[in-house]
């Protein structure tokens, strides 16, 4: 979600290519700063100042005022305004985001909890409300009858919407490309000190039980692709491991990966290991070739599979075995 800013932020100004109705005020005047605001503008603006170009102006999260306002400025004067309350009827914070004038004078804008198109005579002719748990901070017009809307949420979506019919004609869901495992069982990190005679490396049986991993895994730029659950024999081999009642769903990369970078040093063996009731559903949604269970060619040892639903298994090692019950 977009974070709230502690101060007034100015949206980008844009030259106008349309016409706009005049403001409802009796006389048009130059924009005035809020009474309790601090002006950072020079005493004399360069060129013709605000009269240099016509433009649309919005303030994002203008906490100084009860209304959030879109201004149209022409000839250095405010000729049109439209405001929304800083809080909607249900108390939800509203803040203006993108605002763009079309060639017909209409303005498309977003307000965090939705997006709209308004005419010069201030009629809302298209509107969408952000679904609960989402926000809209970006909207760009495509011609006069389409808009491109980014909907922040989990997951985030990019939508091409026909503002005449109201139909979403195209939609793209942004995948969450994580960088790490949901669960990493690894001997990479030192947990022993020979001088102090401390050794906290794997001993007994390591137990992973009653876990649900949803949309985990991903690409670690300091490593490589990591599975949602990864077993890594690096500085030490691992003896004694039980993975029980674990569900892995919609994994970005492989569901489970077994790798052994320690094999050249004789530390790449997995032994006395078993998977009990491990279910892997839909792996590799982040692209590239991935598998429910992938065993890299450097792995040594074995794992027993019991009452598990693992459909896509790729074992690239000549020295690793999958055992039955």
* Domain assignments of the chain as residue spans, ordered by start: 9-173, 183-323
CATH of domain 9-173: 2.40.128.630
Other residues' Cβ atoms within 10 Å of the Cβ of residue 228: 30
**Mean pLDDT (whole number) for 199-219:** 84
Apex 239 CA angle, 235 and 242, nearest 5: 120
- Whether pLDDT at 198 is above 70: no
Residue 250, by phi and psi: left (phi above 0), alpha (psi -120 to 50) or beta? left
Mean pLDDT of the 54-71 span: 88
Q: How many CA atoms lie within 13 A of 268 on its CB side?
A: 18
Average pLDDT over the chain, rounded to an integer: 84
Question: What percent of the chain is predicted at pLDDT more than 90?
Answer: 59
Mean pLDDT over 77-83 rounds to 95
| pLDDT at position 4 | 36
Q: Assign residue 288 a region: left if phi > 0, alpha if psi is -120 to 50, beta otherwise? A: left
Cα Rg of the chain, angstroms: 29
24 vs 250, higher pLDDT: 250
CB-based contacts of 168: which residues, under 8 Å, 6+ apart?
Answer: 159, 160, 161, 162
Return d(Cα 260, Cα 258) in angstroms, integer. Answer: 7
- Residue 72 has a pLDDT of 96
Q: Please report which confidence band the pLDDT of residue 175 belongs to, taking 50, 70 and 90 as the band edges.
A: low
Mean pLDDT of 61-79: 90
pLDDT-wise least confident of 5-14, 87-96, 165-174? 5-14
| CA pair distance 238, 233, nearest whole angstrom | 6
Residue 157 has pLDDT above 80, yes or no: yes
- Mean pLDDT of the region 27-56: 71
Separation of alpha carbons 57 and 99, rounded Å: 8
pLDDT class for 180, splitting at 50, 70, 90? confident
Residue pLDDT, tens place only, 12-35: 333 343 333 333 333 344 444 445
CB 216 within 8 A of CB 244: no
Enter the tokens of residue 276: 């009990």
CA 63, CA 323: separation in Å to the nearest integer? 64
pLDDT score of 143 more than 50:
yes
The sign one gets for the Cα dihedral 151, 157, 163, 165 is negative
Select the more confidently predicted residue: 177 or 19.
177
Token readout for 118 is 């308004």
Instruction: Tell me the pTM.
Output: 0.50
| Residue 239 burial (C-beta neighbours within 10 Å; 0-12, 13-18, 19+) | middle
On the question of pLDDT at 36 being above 70, the answer is no
Q: Quick one: average pLDDT of 154-170?
A: 92
Place of tokens 């005020």: 25
Residue with tokens 């995948």: 175
pLDDT on residue 2 = 39
What was the pLDDT predicted at 192?
65
Q: How large is the average pLDDT for residues 223-239?
A: 90
Q: pLDDT class for 312, splitting at 50, 70, 90?
A: very high
The residue to which tokens 């700063």 are assigned: 33
- Which of the residue ranges 16-30, 82-96, 206-220 would you say has the lowest mean pLDDT? 16-30
Helices (H) and strands (E) counted in the chain, each on its own, are 0, 27
Confidence bin at 155 (pLDDT 50/70/90)? confident
Between 7 and 123, residue with greater pLDDT: 123
Q: For residues 265 and 236, what is the distance between their CA atoms, to the nearest angstrom? A: 9
Per-residue pLDDT for 244 more than 90? yes
Q: Which pLDDT value is given to residue 154?
A: 76
Task: Give the tokens for residue 44.
Answer: 């004399």
């Amino acid at each position: 979600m977009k974070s709230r800013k502690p101060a007034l932020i100015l949206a980008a100004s844009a030259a106008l290519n349309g016409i706009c109705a005049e403001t409802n005020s009796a006389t048009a005047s130059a924009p005035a700063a809020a009474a309790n605001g601090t002006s950072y503008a020079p005493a004399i603006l360069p060129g013709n100042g605000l009269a240099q170009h016509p433009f649309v102006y919005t303030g994002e999260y203008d906490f100084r005022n009860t209304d959030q306002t879109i201004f149209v400025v022409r000839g250095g004067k405010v000729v049109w305004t439209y405001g929304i309350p800083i809080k909607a009827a249900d108390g939800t914070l509203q803040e203006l985001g993108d605002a763009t004038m079309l060639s017909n004078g209409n303005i498309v804008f977003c307000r965090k909890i939705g997006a709209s198109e308004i005419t010069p005579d201030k009629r809302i002719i298209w509107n969408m409300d952000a679904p609960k748990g989402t926000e809209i901070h970006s909207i760009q017009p495509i011609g006069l009858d389409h808009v491109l809307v980014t909907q922040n949420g989990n997951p985030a979506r990019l939508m091409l919407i026909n503002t005449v019919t109201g139909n979403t004609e195209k939609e793209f869901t942004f995948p969450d490309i994580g960088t790490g495992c949901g669960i990493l069982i690894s001997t990479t990190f030192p947990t022993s000190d020979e001088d102090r005679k401390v050794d906290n490396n794997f001993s007994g049986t390591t137990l992973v039980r009653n876990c649900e991993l949803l949309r985990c895994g991903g690409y670690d730029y300091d490593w490589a692709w990591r599975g949602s659950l990864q077993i890594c024999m690096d500085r030490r081999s691992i003896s004694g491991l039980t993975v029980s009642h674990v569900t892995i769903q919609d994994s970005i990369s492989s569901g489970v990966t077994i790798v052994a970078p320690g094999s050249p040093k004789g530390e790449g063996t997995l032994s006395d290991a078993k998977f009990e009731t491990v279910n892997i559903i839909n792996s590799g949604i982040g692209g590239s070739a991935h598998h429910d269970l992938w065993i890299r060619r450097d792995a040594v040892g074995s794992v027993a599979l019991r009452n598990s639903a693992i459909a896509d298994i790729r074992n690239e090692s000549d020295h690793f075995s999958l055992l039955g019950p």
